[in-house]
Amino acid sequence: MARSEAETALTDPPSVIIGIVADIEPGLSAETVLDAVREAAPKRPACRQLAFVLRERPELLTNAEPAGPRGIERLVVALQARGARNVVRPLCGDCHQPKRLTQLNGDIRICTACESKRRKADRHCEGCGTSLTYYFRGPAGEMLCRDCLPDIPDPLLRLQEMIASADPGLDAAVARQAVEVAARGRTATMRRMAWELAEQPGLLLGDGVHRSPRLLVLVDELRKAGSELIAPPRCPQCGRIGVALRYPLDGRRLCGSCYNHAKAEPCSRCQRTLPVATRTADGRPLCRPCSKQDPSTHDQCVDCGRVRWISRHTAEGPLCDTCAKPLTAVCALCGQTRPCHLSSAGQRRCRPCSQHREACSVCRQVRRVTARTPDGPLCERCYDNSEASFKTCPDCGTVDRSWHFSLCPKCAATRQLAKILGPADQLTADMGRLMASLLAKPRATLHWLEMSAGADVLQELASGACPMTHEALDARLPSKALRHLRARLVVARLLPARDENLAELERWLDSTIKALTDDDDRKLIRSFATWGQLARLRRQIGRDRPVTPAQTATVRRNVRSAITLLAWLHDSGATLATCTQAHLNDWALTGKKDWYSARTMVGWAVNAGHARRVEVPRRPRNDAVSPPLDADERWKATRRLLHDDAVDLRDRVAGLLLLLYAQPMTAIVRLNTDHLVVTADATNLVLAELPLHLPDPLDSLVNQLASQSTPLRDGPAWLFPGALAGRHMSSTTLGVRLRNLGIGPRRGRNAALLDLCAQLPSAVIARLLGMSPGTADRWAGAGRRGSYAAAVSRRT
């Protein structure tokens, strides 16, 4: 099994299953098979298990063998419902009938009827030894016939008497109702509870952890009914009261935290003994930190759309760790201070209140209630699309989606800023410009005020306690918390513009270097960062080109790898000056992921005379990671972007520039209206020396995108504006948006370059697309007819 296939089964299990089914059912489309996979295995762990089993034994879909997980049977049923003819439903291992195989007999799956017959053949009363068709569980859990069962004529009345002896002041009707709720109306459950209380009366007085969970429910119901003598049980491990004791261990019931620590195992990756968060496909345990790094636990978050570690699953879909963390605030419904979510109606709601579900009056689906109207409750989706979410603002009279107190976002932001900065007619000229700049994007400002401590910084700016400089802002809060405010100050011309990525990198380098304890290492890393990294970075960007996040990430990775290498050398009794090639080879054998990243630092140290003539090899190129996009897939995606109006206009234009003209993400996001040359006859896009003619309908899409852009005060408008004022979209963000459409930026650009270089001379490509002549020559060599045909043959 190739490594890439195993990684695919971890990171993208549906693709593995689709590929296996395609070999068996070539007439089914990939979308149809994907729907069947989602129906058979809706959760990712089950889908991953199904992918691993089918990858090893694809014949389970055709040989009717009752083996493997039950998801195989569900997948076959779902495929047959969608027109599959070659897959065969597995048969019961005993009766050989196509039934639901919900039971296991060893490794063979059988139906419920065969399992019932198998159990009946082995049933004998443990009191008299007679064969049993129906049985009852005795006080110790033994199987008994009706004659051997200890008789309790009325278990409900017996339980009421026991409760009355424990709390004489409790009303009999209340006790009866609590018993019925705890036993769920089942006489057998009441009988067992009566046996347990007769054997150990103290279960109602705090010893309930030693018996069945139904007694714990009974204690909770009696406490809710007002009983003060019935004692809630403590967790026998941590001693806490009021926690749910759901997990049995050694005859006692523990809370979830104590149970996890008791069942902790050494993690298969970090070897630390921690609670098991998840397990790999082969059953090895993973702790929570390591599970976050495992690609099998990553999925697309339904809230932010990013492919990240999934913290929890909801009815709407999976949520990443960031989107699943609510803020602590006062709930607008119950009035208690709890972790709250901000609803679309502008009301903070805690988890219990937000999880209240009712049937939506519009879509009729049972979902969380976002707003209540005279016509009935509305879910979030229907509320956003309804007229009820739009109200007349009492301050300005505009009809807009209300933020709070029926105010539109602009009036709500005006009130919030007036409380912080003071009345608008009493502000200084600088504060007035700042307030006007913040009100240009009122929703973003309101979200920023709620999600950060920016209000305190605004008050300090208004009072003069904080000078209006970049250095003063850097000393107040972390840079991320002040990005919105800093961008607004720059747009209002209250702060000079600067390269924020470079500034954040310099601050990170200062803090990282100061954290080093060895003086020699601190001096060496500072020299490497200043003269080996920052100087080279400034030469690359020039004067007008800002630093990209990818460039700062590379510098950080190189510095981290240098620090890791120096620490390893100290542990090995060596230094960088005495380091030999044997030391570096030994470090490579430790499996450190920083091995190849240390090449930059080692090369700089050798040239600067800080190390001997040693070398770290280049990172091997793995061309199989990002092969060129298949030609059919490329043109299919191109047609969709050209004609599908449901796709966001920015994604359509960016995807077409990538797939047709091989433009990288960093070049696409920097496009502005000055790059467009529009005449009466044509629309040209200036990417390099020569203008590029845009054909129809791409020209109309680009012109439409330019018309939606907001021009800046001191420059042209960005075609792809970012969330921060005056800045373009991040190339990483644009790449994620295209990946959500199924377009891999690197694969799509490689395919476009191969195609273009096979048709045009390298000099023309360099002057049209802004590519360096050397790069164009290399791609032209790869795009010649023979090489191009070979590349197409390999990827198809």
- Is 130 within the bounds of a domain? no
- Band (9; pLDDT cuts 50, 70, 90): very low
Q: Are residues 537 and 491 in the same domain?
A: no
Last residue of a domain, one of 470, 498, 526: 498
Q: Are residues 672 and 755 in the same domain?
A: yes
Q: Which residue has the higher pLDDT, 126 or 428?
A: 428
Query: Rounded mean pLDDT of 92-113?
Result: 84
139 has a pLDDT exceeding 50: yes
pLDDT of residue 27: 85
DSSP string, 520-579: HHHHHHHHIIIIIIIHHHHHHHTTTPPPPHHHHHHHHHHHHHHHHHHHHHHHTT--TTT-
Sequence letter at residue 175: A
Last residue of a domain, one of 90, 111, 139: 90
Span 58-88, pLDDT tens digits: 888 888 888 888 888 889 888 988 888 888 8
> Rounded to an integer, what distance in angstroms lies between the CA atom of residue 12 and that of residue 320?
17
Last residue of a domain, one of 463, 498, 533: 498
> How much is the pTM?
0.47
CATH number, domain with residue 635: 1.10.443.10
> Rounded to an integer, what distance in angstroms lies between the CA atom of residue 549 and that of residue 728?
13
- Is 258 within the bounds of a domain? no
734 has a pLDDT exceeding 80: yes
Domain that holds residue 274: 265-293
Span 194-236, pLDDT tens digits: 877 777 777 677 665 566 777 778 877 887 777 777 777 777 7
Report the percentage of the chain scoring pLDDT > 90.
0
Count other Cβ atoms within 10 Å, centred on residue 389: 20
Lowest average pLDDT, out of 522-526, 534-538, 560-564, goes to 534-538
143 has a pLDDT exceeding 60: yes
Query: Rounded mean pLDDT of 609-617?
Result: 84
Lowest average pLDDT, out of 189-198, 281-290, 328-337, 434-443, goes to 328-337
- Band (379; pLDDT cuts 50, 70, 90): confident
Averaged pLDDT score across all residues of the chain? 79
Span 444-491, pLDDT tens digits: 888 777 766 677 788 788 878 888 888 888 777 666 667 778 888 888
pLDDT of residue 269: 81
Sequence letter at residue 457: V
Q: Are residues 578 and 721 in the same domain?
A: no
- Is 491 within the bounds of a domain? yes
CB 644 within 8 A of CB 630: no
> Rounded to an integer, what distance in angstroms lies between the CA atom of residue 692 and that of residue 677?
9
Highest mean pLDDT among 101-110, 122-131, 431-440, 518-527: 518-527
> Rounded to an integer, what distance in angstroms lies between the CA atom of residue 86 and that of residue 88?
6
pLDDT of residue 135: 60
- Is 259 within the bounds of a domain? no
> Rounded to an integer, what distance in angstroms lies between the CA atom of residue 20 and that of residue 18?
5
Q: Are residues 598 and 517 in the same domain?
A: yes
Q: Are residues 664 and 750 in the same domain?
A: yes
In degrees, to the nearest 5, what angle opens at C-alpha 518 toward C-alphas 512 and 521? 70
> Rounded to an integer, what distance in angstroms lies between the CA atom of residue 104 and that of residue 115?
8
pLDDT of residue 619: 74
- Band (342; pLDDT cuts 50, 70, 90): low
Q: Are residues 728 and 587 in the same domain?
A: no
- Band (346; pLDDT cuts 50, 70, 90): low
322 has a pLDDT exceeding 50: yes
- Is 14 within the bounds of a domain? yes
Question: Residue 170 has what DSSP assignment?
Answer: S
- Band (785; pLDDT cuts 50, 70, 90): very low
Q: Are residues 492 and 583 in the same domain?
A: no
pLDDT of residue 10: 52
Single out the residue of 111, 116, 115, 143 nearest to residue 129, CA to CA. Answer: 143
Q: Are residues 536 and 658 in the same domain?
A: no
- Which H, E and C letters describe 422-479, residue by residue? CCHHHCCHHHHHHHHHHHCCHHHHHHHHHHCCHHHHHHHHHHCCCCCCHHHHHHHCCH
- Band (511; pLDDT cuts 50, 70, 90): confident
Q: Are residues 487 and 597 in the same domain?
A: no
Q: Are residues 161 and 85 in the same domain?
A: no
- Is 189 within the bounds of a domain? yes
Q: Are residues 539 and 674 in the same domain?
A: no
- Is 146 within the bounds of a domain? no
Cite the DSSP H helix spans in 297-408. 351-354, 380-385
pLDDT of residue 542: 63
716 has a pLDDT exceeding 80: no
Single out the residue of 254, 225, 223, 229 nearest to residue 240, CA to CA. Answer: 254
Single out the residue of 637, 687, 641, 684 nearest to residue 661, CA to CA. Answer: 687
Query: Rounded mean pLDDT of 156-180?
Result: 82
Q: Are residues 640 and 774 in the same domain?
A: yes
- Is 769 within the bounds of a domain? yes
Q: Give residue for tokens 């198809």.
A: 796
Q: Which residue has the higher pLDDT, 117 or 792?
A: 117
Query: Rounded mean pLDDT of 269-297?
Result: 78
Question: Looking at the 3D structure of the chain, how many domains does it have?
Answer: 6
Question: Residue 618 has what DSSP assignment?
Answer: P
